[in-house]
Structure 1
Amino acid sequence: MKTTAGIARPIRNGVRPRPLSPTTFERVLAYGSILLLCAVLVAIVRGHSDWNRVSVLVWLHIATIGLSLALTPLLLLGRRGVRRHRVLGYVWVASMCATALLSFGIRSGNRGGLSAIHILSAITLTQAPVLAWHAHLHRVDAHRYTALSLVAGALLVAGFFTFPFGRMLGRWLLA
């Protein structure tokens, strides 16, 4: 039996499974999440004079997304298939779902209505549980594809768009 990253993965039906070690794309996503987390933290520090004007809902949203950003490199670069990965993965899924739910209460950027970014929130609310379900059933390829899609789309692309267009974190970061 061939082992990858310390975990035995048998060859089934003549098909060798993908290695569990991080791919280049996963490394890029992991480092992207670190950079985005750093940008968020710098923006928060720079915006300290406005903290009292930010609603509790927005602070909760920032906290849950910060947790997701912090966990992403640990999950993408760490050992897979071990208890630590499973526990952190479930925390990540819960944090992403909380972030998405909280986002529906944040409507100041679109005159009180939902914006296009809320589409990513709806996708996250459907796909994050699917991610956990794939992991539970040991569907490694489906789990990996769903995880990378969520990190790239719902975490990094959505996170990037919190900075331009005069949004709060962008004003704080670039002030």
Structure 2
Amino acid sequence: MMAAILSNRNLAYATAALLAVVLVAVARGGGGFPALPVLVQIHLASMVFVMALTVPMLLAAKGTPRHRLLGRIWAGLMWGNAIITLFFNAGSRQAGGVFVGDWSPIHALSIFVAVMVPVAVMRARRHDRAGHESAMRGLVIGSLLVAGFFTLPFGRMLGTWLMGH
């Protein structure tokens, strides 16, 4: 039952739905985009691209040259985003810091992603299909869907943009 709920197809649909919500939020509040710290601009833009790549990667055939190419791009963007988010609290807001002096549990997710992306790549290179799929599903569920959902409530920027406040 749980495997059916968390099928690649359903994860792709959930990612597409989240991407649609994020795009609506950006369209509604995108006028504020230029005022965001550069690190947040990079993070938001590249995560939109990651979500867009995730959908066809989950739905299309695995192991093909196209899948490998998109996977390299996806892994690079995800790993880069994990590293970027570790610096969200670095320096002043004027220097690009976002949460100056504020470490939160979300930083643990950044470390998890920074570790798991290379693990997933290594498993793919070793042709450990089950291990690669498990790592990728964990990344999609945890770092895209769950973390993405939590960018919307509690007065967070995307939620504020989405609701037009």
Tell me if TM exceeds 0.5.
yes
> Which structure shows the higher helix fraction?
2
What 5-or-longer segments of structure 2 have no aligned partner? 90-96
Aligned partner of 1:147 among 130, 136, 141: 136
Where do 1:63-78 residues align within 5 Å? 63-78=45-60
| Number of equivalenced pairs | 154
- 1:49 aligns with 31
Distance 1:103 1:111 in 2: 12
Are the equivalent residues in 2 in contact too, given 1:57–1:102 (CA < 8 A)? yes
Q: Which moved more, 1:62-71 or 1:50-59?
A: 50-59
Relative distance call for 1:132 and 1:112 in structure 2 (3 A) is same
- 1:29 aligns with 11
Relative distance call for 1:23 and 1:139 in structure 2 (3 A) is farther
The alignment partner of 1:47 has SS state of: helix
Distance 1:23 1:135 in 2: 24
Distance 2:143 2:30 in 1: 27
What 5-or-longer segments of structure 1 have no aligned partner? 1-21
Relative distance call for 1:115 and 1:137 in structure 2 (3 A) is same
Relative distance call for 1:75 and 1:83 in structure 2 (3 A) is same
Distance 1:31 1:147 in 2: 16
Are the equivalent residues in 1 in contact too, given 2:61–2:67 (CA < 8 A)? yes
- 2:106 aligns with 117
**Structure 1 residue 113 displacement after superposition:** 1.3
- 1:135 aligns with 124
**Structure 1 residue 171 displacement after superposition:** 0.3
Distance 1:111 1:164 in 2: 21
The alignment partner of 1:96 has SS state of: helix
Relative distance call for 1:56 and 1:111 in structure 2 (3 A) is closer
Output the TM-score relative to the length of structure 2: 0.87
Relative distance call for 1:120 and 1:168 in structure 2 (3 A) is same
Aligned residue identity for 1:150: L
Aligned residue identity for 1:67: F
**Structure 1 residue 51 displacement after superposition:** 2.5
The alignment partner of 1:68 has SS state of: helix
Aligned residue identity for 1:69: M
- 1:168 aligns with 157
* Sequence identity (%): 40
